Amino acid sequence: MFKRLRQDINAAKKFDPAARNKFEIWLTYSGVHALSWHRFAHFLFKIKLKLLARIVSQMAKFFTGIEIHPAAKIAGGVFIDHGAGVVIGETAEVETDVVIYQGVTLGGTGKEKGKRHPTIKRGAMISAGAKILGGFTVGEYAKIGAGAVVLKEVPPYATAVGVPAEIVRVNGEKPDLMQEKQDPRHLEICRLHEKIFELEEEIKKLKGEKGDE
């Protein structure tokens, strides 16, 4: 537990340019405090003291504004910056060097059972207000834009933005998204326009034949 606390403090020092020293981080950073509470709650959850684990997690929420389910798996070296309004669900997994900003939700999309919350791989950055909903994976060093709503897997080194989120960069380059961006409704409208054009041509031909008579 103390090893992971050191990793969390080091992550805050690494990712926050405003951090002056480790002692100040330990005393004042709500993200570090929330993760410390979570380590204890997670330990209680693992030894089947689930009610006590939930009580500890709710106390952490009260003092830090960050809600983490005791069953969530969070590696050492995660940085929750500011943190107010962050919610991390029961089956979520967060690897080391991940940066999470305020208002982020790692949640589910319904009452499904099993793995229903996302896995955030090493080095990913989740910007303020982003919602990642579902049991899929956000790849290593991926970036999720502020306010994005992510409903499907994000590949490693990709950048996803928007509502719903779309991939706009992979390894710093624009991907070929023509197949993904083909909206079925747009395709259906195009087909209807084509059919209307054919019918109009048929009507013109019929009118021409009647005029000849």
Which residues lie below 8 Å from residue 49, measured CB to CB, with a gap of 6+? none
Residues 6+ apart with CB under 8 A from 185: none
The single residue listed with the structure tokens 């089947």 is 48
Q: What's the DSSP call for residue 85?
A: T
Q: What is the pLDDT of residue 6?
A: 86
Burial class (CB in 10 A: 0-12, 13-18, 19+), 24: middle
Tell me the C-alpha distance between 183 and 34, whole Å.
Answer: 42
Q: What is the pLDDT of residues 133-190, one digit of tens each?
A: 999 999 999 999 999 999 999 999 999 998 888 888 887 777 765 444 555 666 677 6
Alpha helices for 16-117 (secondary structure H): 22-28, 30-46, 50-64
Per-residue tokens: 116: 């229903």
Q: Do 20 and 34 meet the contact criterion of CB atoms below 8 Å apart?
A: no
Give me the pLDDT at residue 178, please. Answer: 43
> Could you give the C-alpha distances from 192 to 2, 161, 200, 206, in angstroms and in order?
65, 31, 12, 21
Give residues with Cβ within 8 angstroms of 21, minimum separation 6: 13
Reference 130, options 176, 170, 81, 173; nearest CA is 81
Residues in the chain with pLDDT < 50? Answer: 178-180
Residue 156 φ/ψ region, left for φ over 0, alpha for ψ in the -120 to 50 degree band, beta for the rest: beta
The confidence score (pLDDT) of residue 189 equals 74
Task: Say how far apart CA 165 and CA 186 lie, in whole Å.
Answer: 19
pTM above 0.85, yes or no: no
